[in-house]
Structure 1
Amino acid sequence: MSFDGFFTHAMVHELDQTLTTGRVARVSQPYPAELIITIRAYRHNHALLLSANPTYPRIQITTIPYSNPAVPTNFTMTLRKYLEGAILHSIEQVGNDRIIKLTFDTRDELGDSQQLVLVSEIMARHSNISLVNHKTGKIIDTIKHVGSDQNRVRLLLPGATFVMPPKQDKLDPYLPNQLYSDLVRQYQDPRELAHQLQQGYEGLGTDTARDLANRLLASDHLPTAYQQFIQHFNSPDPVIINDKRKSFMVFPPLNTEEDTLQHYPTLSEMLDNYYAQKAQQDRSKELAGQVIKVIKNELKKDRRKVKKFNQQLADADAADRYRIRGEILTTYLGKLKPGMKEITLPNFYDDNKPLKIKLAPELSPSRNAQKYFTKYDKLKASVAHVNEQMKLTNDEIAYFENIQNQIDLAEPSDIQEIRLELQQQGYIKGKKQKSKKRRKVRLSKPEQFHTSDGTLVLVGKNNLQNDRLSFKTANKNEIWLHVKDIPGSHVVIRSTDPSEQTILEAAQLAAYFSKGRDSDNVPVDYLPVKRLHKPNGAKPGFVTFTGQKTLYVTPHKLAN
C-alpha cells in the first residue's frame, strides 16, 4: 500500500488519539525536507515526523534517532517562534485526500489567542508543509517555496494566500453511496474493477483498490463487505507483507499467507520499520548533496586527466619517429634548401624506402633537424613525469570511488565526517570561524558487530574512522581485514587469536561494507594490524601492508 487517502485516514485517527491536546515542546528540522515536532501529550513526549521528501513523503510518530544541523533553517526558526508552547487543537484530513491539517492554539505577540494551521500535503514531488494563519488565510512560511514560475495555480510563498490543491471530481468513500455496487455489476475482473474503483473514489491507491475489489467480488452481501472494509481503517492491524515486493498495509489483505505478514501495534511503528533502511539511505544522500557533487566533479576532472596522460604516453611511444627524422635530415643536410615545406629522403632504417618529412620553411636546414631532436628529447623526458602524475591521478580516483562507496552505506550522522574529511583535504571550503579557537569535531565510533562466538568486530564507516580504528584503536596483534583491490571499510577483529569461523564471518562483513557487496565471491585480505603502514602524505583511509592471507567470501552483514 502506498500512503494513499485511506492510509492517511487511518494515520490521522491514530495521531488524533495520541497527540491531540498535547503541547509543542520543540521543533527540529534534521533533514532538508523533513520536520520533527516534539509534542508532550498524556505525560509522554512524541516525535511527530512530517516529511515532504519526494520519495518517502509521510506523517507519523517516529522513534528513529536524529541529529540536528549545526545551524537551524529559516523555516525551523519560524516554526519555533510560532509553535513552541502551542497546544495541538485538532488533526483533520481534508476529504479522503492525502492532505492533513494540524490546528494549534497559541498566542500572538500581544498575548491575544490565535489559531495556526500546519498543512501537510503528501503528494510525491509536490509534497509540502505550510504554516498558515487560520484567521487571515495567509501563509507564514513553507518548507518548500513554490513560485509562479513553478506553479501557476498555487503560490506557496510567505505572505501569499493559502489555496488548497484542486479537488478531484471523485466520491468521498466514507459518505453514503452505491457506486461500488454499480461497478461490481459491470465488472467481474478484479483488475478492471480495481481500476474503476480508483477512478470513482477519492484517495484510493492501487493496492487498496485491489483488496477492496477482491473483497467485493468474494462477498454475497456488498453493503456489508464495503462497510467492513471502510471500518478496518478505524481499527487497524498494521502489517508489512514480505513477499516479492515488500509492502505495508493498514490491515492484512484478503487471502494473504500469514507467514508473509509481520504485525505491528501501531501504524507509526510499522512505518519506522519499513522506512528504517530506505529512508536513512535517502536522507544520507540528501545531506550528502554537496559532497556527491564535489566527488562527481573531481572524478570527471581526474578521468579527463587520465585520458590526456594516456595520449601523452602514446605520443612518447612514437618518439623514435622524431629521432629518425632528425638523423635522416642531418645525414642529407646538403639536400635541404631554405624555404622548403617538405622533402622526401631515403629512410636508411627501413631499406632506404622513401620517407616524406615535413619542414618549417622559416627555419634553416640545421634548425629543422634540431627541431626533431628537441621534440624527441622532450617526449622521452616527459614519460617519467607523466607516469608519476598518472599514478597520483589514479590514486585520487580510487580515493573518490571509495568515498562514493561509503556514502552508499552511510547513515546521516556519517555524512558530517565525510564532509569534514573533504574540507581537510581542501576539496570543500569550510565555513570561517569567528573565534580563533576552532571547535574540535568529535568523530563517531566505528560500527560494532559480534561473530557467532561473541567476538567483537569493528567496522570503519568513513576514512577518518578507518584511520583512527587501524592506527589508534586496534591492538597491533589484532586482525585487520579489507577487501582486495576495491574500495571498502577497514575491519578489525578485537582478538589476537580469532577462530577460523570468526575470521570468515569478519571477512563476510568486510565484503558487505565494500563496493563488492553485490558480488557472490569477494576476495578479502587479512593480517595482523602491526603489518599495516601509513605512507607519509597519504590520503585518509590509505594504507599499505605485506604478509596478508586472502579469503574468498560471500558478503553478509552480521547482527550488531
Structure 2
Amino acid sequence: MAFDGMFTHAMVSELRTKILNGRIMKISQPYPNEVILTIRSNRKNYPLLLSAHPNYARMQITQIPYKNPAVPTKFTMMLRKYLENAKLTDIQQLENDRVVYFSFETRNEIGDRLPLLLSIEIMNRYSNVILINQQNQTIIDTIKHVGMDQNRYRTLLPGATYRQPPKQEKLDPFAAKNSQRLIALGQQFPNREVLAQNIQKKFQGFGKVSSLQLADVFHQNDGQSDAEHLTTFLKATADPIPSLTTGKQLDFTFTNLGNDIQDMGTQFSSLSTLLDHFYREKATRDRVRQQGALLIHVVNQELKKNRNKLKKLQKEFANTQHANEYRIKGELLTTYLYQVKRGMTEITLPNFYDNERPLKIALSNQIGPSQNAQKYFKKYQKLKNAISYLKEQIKLTEDEINYFEEIQTQIELAEPQDLTDIQVELESGGYLRKNNHHKKNKRRVKINQPETFWASDGTKIKVGKNNLQNEKLTLHTASKNDYWLHVKNIPGSHVIVESNNPSDETLVEAAELAAYFSKSRNSANVPVDYVQVRRIRKPNGTKPGFVIYEGQKTLYVTPTEEKVNQLKTKNE
C-alpha cells in the first residue's frame, strides 16, 4: 500500500493542524497491535489511531467505532499511567521516513515535568508503537516487545535504551541540499518507469505510486521549470488532495498530481477520511478472520461432517428403493417353494407381478428353501423400517447444513464485535466448548446491539448481524406493528423498519439492506420478503434466529455498498 514517507509527511501536516496542543482524554487498545488516543483539541475529540498491524500499519484520525476488550492490556495500562491528560506539544517525522514522534508534556508523581515521546514506526511486520522517556531516552514500554534474539542491533523492551531505526542510505527530498540532485535525476531519465525506479532507489520515502507521480510531474510540458515542478509536488504534502487510484490495484495517494489523473478515483476531504474508507473493509475482514479463526474452523468442520453424512444417508435411502424387489422375491420363493431345492445357488421363476416375465433369484446353498424366502422378507422389512428413519435423519442433517451455512454467512458479514454473539450461540448449542471465563462469569452474556440505519425520510431501520441479535430484535425488541424483512430462502439478517406504515421508498431501502447483509450481497434482483412483525412466530425447539411467517409480500432489489453507506450516515 501507499503509506510511504511522502504520505507520512502529508499525514503529519494534517495531524498538526487538528490535534497539536490538545490533551489526551482517553486511551484504549481495541486490538493487540492498535491503540487509540482520544485527543481533545479546539473543543472537539479526535480519536488518533496508531496501528502497528503488519499489513495495515498507519496513523490517522479515525471515525470507525471500536469495541474495547473487557480487560485492558499491560501496554494500555502503561499508556494510561503516563499519558492520560498529557499535552501534545509537537509532531515530527524522522527525515522523510515512516517514523513519527509525538511529543507530550506531563508531570510525574511528585509534580516534576516529564517529557515523553510516543513513537510510531510504520514498517510492515516490524511496525511498532513505543513509549519513551525523553529525559534519559529509556523505553517505558512497546506494543510489541523485540528481544536480543530477534534483533541484536535494536532491542525494544521496557528499560532498554531507545535507538532509532537503522538509517537508510537514501536522501531526504525535503532537504534543500538534495533538491538539485533530484532535479538532475529527473533530467537524466526521460523514461517514466525508469525514472520512478531511480527515485525510489536514491531518495527516501517514495513508494511506487508517489515515485510514478513525481516522474509524471517532471515530464509535464506546462512551461514550468523542473525546480518549480519539484516544489509543487513537495508542497502538495501540506495541501493534499486525498485520492484513491483505480488502476490495476486499488491504492491511495495524498495528491492527484501526475499524468495518470484518469486513474484517480474518489477524492476525500482529508487523509484520515480516505484511510477510513480504504481500510474499513480490508481491516475488518482481516480482524474477523483472525479473531474468529476458531469459530470459522468449527463451522467448516460441522459443514464438512454434515455434508458427508448427508451423502451417506442419501445413498442408503436410494438403496431402500429396492425394498419391493426383496418382497417380490420372497413371495415368489414362497409361492414356488416346491421348485426350490437345498443346495441351489439361483433359480428362475415366473413373476406374476410383471406379466409372468421370468425373474432370476439368488439363493444361499447353506440354508433351506423356506429360510431363503425368509431372508428376503427380512431384508425387505429392514429397508422398509429404514425409510422413515432415513427421511427424518436427512431432514435433520439438511437443517444442520442450512444452519451452519447461515452462521458462515454471518461470520463473513460480521464486525469483530459481533463474533462474541456467534461464539455464545455455538457454545449454547454444544458445538463449542465453553471457556473458563464463561464458567466463572455466571451473569447472562449481553447481546450486542443491532446496527442502525436511517431511511431517506428519517425512519429508523435496524439490522441484526447474527442469530442472537436477529432473535432479540424480531421477537423481543420490535413492535408488533413494525415491518420485518428478510431475503427469501437465503441466509441473511433480520431487518426491522420501525414504522407501522412505511413508505414504498423506505421498504425498498430496507430491502436493499436485507439483501446487502445476506449471502446474496453481490447478486442482482434479490427477492426480499416483508411482513408485519405480528405475523412472525418461532416454532418450539428451533435454533436461534429461526422464524416462520405468512402473508408476506416480495420486493426485488439490487444492493450496493454506496446506498448502504448513505443510509448509515443519514441523520448522523
The answer for the alignment partner of 1:194 in structure 2 is 196
Name the TM-score, length of structure 1 as normaliser: 0.82
**Is the 8 Å Cα contact of residues 38 and 48 (structure 2) preserved in structure 1?**
yes
Partner Cα separation in structure 2 for residue 128 and residue 322 of structure 1: 74
Paired residues for 1:302-321 under 5 Å? 302-319=306-323
Deviation at 1:29, TM superposition (A): 0.7
Q: Quick one: which amino acid aligns to residue 75 of structure 2?
A: F
Aligned equivalent of 1:335: 342
Alignment correspondent of 1:267: 271
Greater mean alpha carbon deviation, residues 247-256 or residues 517-526: 247-256
Listed as ranges, the gaps of 5+ residues in structure 1 are 338-342
Assess if the C-alpha contact under 8 Å between 2:242 and 2:254 holds in 1: yes
Name the CA shift for 1:526/1:346 in 2 (closer, same or farther; >3 Å): same
Q: Deviations over 1:84-134 (max 9, x none)?
A: 455556543333222234455667789887665544232334433344566
* Alignment match, 2:496: 492
Contact 1:237 1:263 in 2 (8 A): no
Counterpart residue identity of residue 438, structure 1? R
Q: CA deviation at 1:511?
A: 2.0
Aligned CA distance change for structure 1 residues 10 and 237 (closer, same or farther; 3 Å): closer
Q: 1:421–1:464: 8 Å Cα contact kept in structure 2?
A: yes
Establish whether residue 529 from structure 1 lines up as the match of residue 528 from structure 2: no
Q: Is 1:240 matched with 2:243?
A: yes
Amino acid across the alignment from 1:202: Q
Out of 434, 442, 452, which is 1:447 matched to? 452
- 2:80 is aligned to 80
Q: Which residue of 2 aligns with 1:60?
A: 60
> What do residues 450-509 of structure 1 show as CA deviations (whole Å, max 9, x unaligned)?
24x555444333323322333334444443322111112223344444454444443333
Partner of 2:95: 95
Corresponding residue for residue 389 of structure 1: 393
Q: Structure 1 residues 366, 430: CA separation in 2 closer, same or farther (over 3 Å shift)?
A: farther
Moved more, 432-441 or 216-225: 432-441
Task: Describe the shift of the 1:506–1:286 C-alpha distance in structure 2 as closer, same or farther (beyond 3 A).
Answer: same
| Partner SS for 2:297 | helix
Partner of 2:32: 32
| Equivalent position of 1:509 in the other structure | 513
Contact 2:245 2:253 in 1 (8 A): no
Matches within 5 A, 1:137-536: 141-144=141-144, 167-175=167-175, 176-177=177-178, 178-218=180-220, 220-233=224-237, 235-241=238-244, 247-254=251-258, 256=261, 262-264=267-269, 266-319=270-323, 331=337, 334-336=341-343, 343-346=345-348, 373-428=377-432, 429-432=434-437, 438-439=443-444, 441=446, 443-451=448-456, 453-536=457-540
Aligned residue type for 1:225: H
Normalising by structure 2, we get a TM-score of 0.80
Change (3 A) 1:89 1:375: farther
| Secondary structure of 1:314 counterpart | helix
Structure 2 CA distance for partners of 1:423 and 1:108, relative to 1, 3 Å: farther
AA partner of residue 197 (structure 1): I
Distance 1:87 1:482, change over 3 A: closer
Q: Choose 302-311 or 435-444, whichever is displaced more.
A: 435-444
1:3 paired with 2:15, answer no
Q: Is the 8 A contact 1:28 1:68 kept in 2?
A: yes
Q: CA deviation at 1:137?
A: 7.0
Distance of 2:363 and 2:116 partners within structure 1: 85
CA contact (8 A) 1:121 1:127 kept: yes
Q: Name the CA shift for 1:306/1:58 in 2 (closer, same or farther; >3 Å).
A: same
Change (3 A) 1:373 1:48: same
**Is residue 447–residue 468 contact of structure 2 (8 Å, CA) maintained in 1?**
no
Which one is further off, 399-408 or 100-109? 100-109
Aligned mates of 2:138, 2:302 — CA distance in 1: 45
